Amino acid sequence: VPRTGEVVFDKVTFTYPGAEQPVLADISFTARRGTTTAIIGSTGAGKTTLISLIPRLHDATSGTVSVGGVDVREAQLESLWARIGLVPQRPYLFAGTVGSNLRYGREEATDEELWDALAIAQGEDFVRAMPETLDSPIAQGGTTVSGGQRQRLSIARALVRQPDVLIFDDSFSALDTATDARLRAALDREVTDATVIVVAQRVSSIVDADQILVMEDGRIVDRGTHSELLQTSPTYQEIVST
Ligand code: M5T
Ligand code: MG
């Protein structure tokens, strides 16, 4: 099994169990290691559903999804999940401490590794400012930290696991644009080997992506870089202007 996190969708269709209409139709793309693939599109376009097929939260109805050259259906779930860091659209924190929340998924991580992940996720300053830093208590649901702090802890948690595939589902939306920009610059600098997939609402979060997939009604209607799409995609132009 090659230790590469290349993600390939080949003619993927998906219908939720019991639903009549497919939510994803004819999705094909390759997300290469060391590159960033962005997915943008209006609410309900199917972005969250698409990324949920990678760790097999759902299985494709037809077509194949593969990670590192292996069909995810043939991969052992535990080893598949060990390779994927997914930051969900609604970040969740457990009752415990900052440290125990960050270690979820990799219990053996050292404090230094937690700080490294926090530095990239732009969470270092606020955790250092907490009275007990990594040992500071977190209430169930993370109600003692702000939405933006919760998002950054959730991002740091994914980084601690050092996955081959890093997926951010609208993970930068609660961050102000300056923090968003610093975080993406740090990711670019520090996370160079992973396959990064970014679902975003804000175009400013994805202008530097190696490829952008524009989704509409469960389909990829256009693809390219930011500057290519500005020239070729009316849908993208509309997203940019709103
Ligand atoms: C795409 C439907 C949803 C929408 C379409 C998660 C989920 C979604 N859907 C279900 O029927 N059951 C489900 O469990 O699928 O939804 P999405 O993938 O969540 O879209 P999105 O991520 O692009 O939207 P948003 O709002 O996060 O930008 O018809 O009803
Ligand atoms: Mg979504």
**Hey, whose CA ends up nearest to atom 27 of ligand 1?**
43
What band does 163 get if pLDDT is binned at 50, 70 and 90?
Answer: very high
pLDDT of residue 173: 85
Domains along the sequence of the chain with CATH: 1-83+163-242 (3.40.50.300), 91-161 (3.40.50.300)
CA of 50 relative to ligand 2 center, distance in Å:
9
CA of 192 relative to ligand 1 center, distance in Å:
30
pLDDT tens, residue by residue, 104-160: 989 999 999 999 999 999 999 999 999 999 999 998 776 788 989 999 999 999 999
Q: What is the pTM of this model?
A: 0.95
pLDDT of residue 242: 81
Q: What distances in angstroms separate CA 165 from CA 19, 55, 154, 189, 196, one per listed residue?
A: 29, 10, 15, 16, 6
pLDDT above 90 coverage of the chain, percent: 86
pLDDT tens, residue by residue, 71-109: 999 999 999 999 999 999 998 899 999 999 999 989 999
SS3 state of residue 128: helix
Among 42, 49, 54, 87, which is best to mutate for testing ligand 1, by the most ligand atoms less than 8 A from CB?
A: 49
Name every protein residue with a CB atom under 6 angstroms from any ligand 1 atom.
Answer: 16, 19, 23, 41, 43-49, 89
